[in-house]
Amino acid sequence: MGDGALVLFSGGQDSATCLAWALREFGRVETLGFDYGQRHRVELNCRAALRDGMASPRLGPDHVLALPVLGDISETALTREAEITVAANGLPSTFVPGRNLVFLALAAALAWRRGLRHIVLGVCETDYSGYPDCRDDTVKAMQVALNLGLDARLVLHAPLMWRDKRATWALAHELGGDALVELIRRDSHSCYRGERTPRPWGGGCGACPACDLRARGWAAYATGHDDPAP
């Protein structure tokens, strides 16, 4: 198995930053997206512009897998027209049970077939929505399980794990300067409601938890950056 990488690439800010990071770290990079009936499916439409903006001889094929079963078995605010709330168990209603576990299992199978040793994902425990499948322990446990199940030596990378949104914007600037920051600001999508209303930090409804997190991170980054994107 070679040293290429497969990036779980949704079209959001975090996965776009991870793609830029992977292009710096690995000589061969492919991308993988999932269509699971998400309410904010518009994120999938953002992927092409982001890939075009990061075009490189290192950037290989894109893959998209249809996973309607996740929507079929989920009663969440990401897969239904439902109010975004916090449940009695403390988890937000946007949590899709098993989503990242399924994503990683399928990504590992594809990486194994494509001869890619590294899998890169944009999960974060520092500035996240309380999803248990975004935790560092979950990623490490999945790496062990996948390698046992595939008799492989895959490596899972989560370069944003200990970065908040301000630090994620800063990493994008480190990787590609103002041009990459502006590409991600303009063309990536985070809004849970799937809205693309123009905002200083990108496009979104401006009210959902994803928009709030992105807006606060952008404000913190722009305040401390000498020449922020407009």
Domain ranges in the chain?
A: 2-189
Of 3.40.50.620, 3.40.50.800, 3.30.420.270, 3.30.9.10, the CATH number of 2-189 is 3.40.50.620
Look at residue 80 in the predicted model and tell me its pLDDT: 52
The 155-157 sheet, strands edge to edge:
59-66, 29-35, 2-8, 116-120, 155-157
pLDDT, one tens digit per residue, over 154-179 is: 999 999 999 999 999 999 999 999 99
What is the mean pLDDT of the segment spanning 200-210?
A: 93
The H-assigned helical ranges of the chain are: 13-25, 42-53, 68-73, 99-114, 136-150, 165-187, 209-224
Q: Model confidence at 227, in pLDDT bands (50, 70, 90)?
A: very low
pLDDT, one tens digit per residue, over 65-117 is: 998 887 777 766 455 565 655 655 666 656 677 889 999 999 999 999 999 99
pLDDT of residue 230 exceeding 70 = no
